[in-house]
């Protein structure tokens, strides 16, 4: 069983308000695990709503916007590796936002354009996931 991450409530709140949730942070902190947990307790990398840009099949489906019809939440993992990732997400968000939520995971590069004239302005909330410390005794 997956342990809920400290950012889970904040990510769920952003999604509930209609924003995309971008989860960035260093390698191996649990970004993908957190995102998959939002799809349900037993969700794995084979879930139809999980798109990992490192998988050529998933990347091709995402580029063609072949999205699963009855999945209210999409996970786009490592999509920032596509040079045109912001325009791709903007198009999906703008045409699907009434009935679909989007979580994007990846490195800190997700946040590079936050302060500029970003095509994603006002469409997402950025969260930085850090390694969790063990509880204090």
Strands 101-106 and 50-52 turn out to be unpaired
Query: pTM here?
Result: 0.86
- Taking the CA atoms of residue 118, residue 72, residue 35 and residue 76 in that order, the dihedral angle to the nearest 10 degrees is -50
Kindly tell me if the per-residue pLDDT of 116 is higher than 80. Answer: no
Diameter over CA atoms, the chain: 51
Residue 10 CA neighbour count, 13 Å, CB half: 11
Kindly state the average pLDDT of the residues 46-71.
94
Cα–Cα dist 96/68, whole Å: 12
> Which of the given ranges, 1-5, 21-25, 120-124, has the highest pLDDT on average?
21-25
Q: What's the CA gap between 20 and 38, in Å, rounded? A: 13
Q: Is the pLDDT of residue 25 over 70?
A: yes
How does residue 59 score in pLDDT terms, banded at 50, 70 and 90? very high
Q: Sign (positive/negative) of CA torsion 45, 51, 53, 57? A: positive
Query: Structural domains in the chain?
Result: 8-128 (3.40.50.300)
- Report the share of the chain in percent with pLDDT over 70: 85
């Amino acid at each position: 069983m997956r342990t809920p991450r400290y950012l889970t409530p904040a990510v769920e709140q952003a999604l509930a308000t209609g924003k995309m949730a971008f989860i960035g942070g260093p390698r191996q902190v649990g970004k993908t695990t957190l995102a998959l947990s939002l799809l349900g307790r037993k969700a794995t990398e084979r879930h139809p709503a999980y798109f990992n840009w490192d998988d050529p099949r998933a990347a091709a489906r995402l580029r063609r916007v072949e999205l699963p019809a009855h999945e209210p939440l999409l996970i786009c993992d490592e999509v920032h590796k596509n040079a045109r990732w912001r325009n791709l997400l903007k198009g999906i968000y703008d045409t699907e936002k009434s009935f679909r939520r989007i979580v994007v995971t990846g490195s800190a590069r997700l946040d590079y354009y936050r302060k500029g004239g970003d095509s994603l302005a006002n469409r997402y909330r950025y969260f930085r996931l850090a390694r969790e410390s063990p509880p204090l005794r």
